[in-house]
């Protein structure tokens, strides 16, 4: 419960708000003045499922970092494809849309890994400085 309140709920709120804001900005720049309620709920569903996947992956004793990252990538990318390309998905059909969204996904996934690595390194530095 503590983890749900301290980690998952704040990250859900932040991610959902940031994504909704980004969609609004993109839509406004392209001349659309409204955002679909269905789209917002789909995004909420996607974030909820990725958090659930993250929680479940945390329970698995992976042998090393590479296997963990690979597994996380496969699960998240699978969810991304389901939401992005199933009928009524976020992206248009075709190989070009698939390639473009995959590249964006890889960049975002890489940036997230870097962010978490730097946060962890900073945490470790603070703890080690207290241990000295």
Partner 1 sequence: MKLTINQSSDFTENEIIINCACMNPRLQKLIDYIRQFSFTLEGELDNRLFQIPVEQIIYAESVEGKTFLYDTDHAYFCRRTLASLEEDLGAAPFVRISKNCMINISYLQSVAPYFNHRMKAQLKTGEELIISRNYIDTLKNKLKNQEGIL
The residue ranges that bind partner 1 (CB under 8 A) are 2-3, 7, 57-58, 62, 64-65, 68-69, 116-117, 120-121, 123-124, 126-128, 130-131
Separation CA 116–CA 49 (nearest Å): 19
DSSP class of residue 58 equals T
Closest approach, Cβ 70 to partner 1, in A, equals: 11
If the CB atoms of residues 37 and 127 are measured against partner 1, the closer one turns out to be: 127
Closest CB to partner 1 among 5 and 37? 5
Say if residues 39 and 90 touch (Cβ distance below 8 Å): yes
DSSP state of 123: H
CB of 7 to partner 1, least distance (A): 8
Structure tokens at 119: 């946060």
* 43: number of Cβ within 10 Å: 18
Q: How far is CA 36 from the centre of its chain?
A: 20
- 2 versus 87: smaller Cβ distance to partner 1: 2
Measured from the CB atom, the residue of 29 and 59 that comes closer to partner 1 is 59
Closest contact distance (angstroms) between CB of 116 and partner 1 is 6
């Amino acid at each position: 419960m503590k983890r749900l309140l301290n980690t998952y709920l704040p990250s859900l709120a932040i991610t959902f708000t940031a994504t909704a804001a980004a969609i609004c900005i993109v839509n406004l720049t392209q001349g659309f003045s409204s955002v679909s309620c269905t789209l917002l709920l789909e995004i909420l569903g996607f974030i909820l499922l990725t958090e659930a996947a993250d929680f479940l992956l945390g329970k698995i004793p992976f042998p090393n970092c590479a296997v963990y990252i690979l597994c996380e990538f496969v699960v998240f990318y699978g969810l991304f494809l389901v939401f992005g390309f199933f009928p009524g998905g976020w992206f248009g059909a075709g190989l070009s849309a698939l390639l473009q969204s995959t590249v964006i996904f890889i960049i975002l996934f890489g940036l997230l890994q870097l962010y978490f690595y730097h946060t962890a390194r900073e945490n470790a530095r603070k703890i080690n400085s207290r241990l000295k």
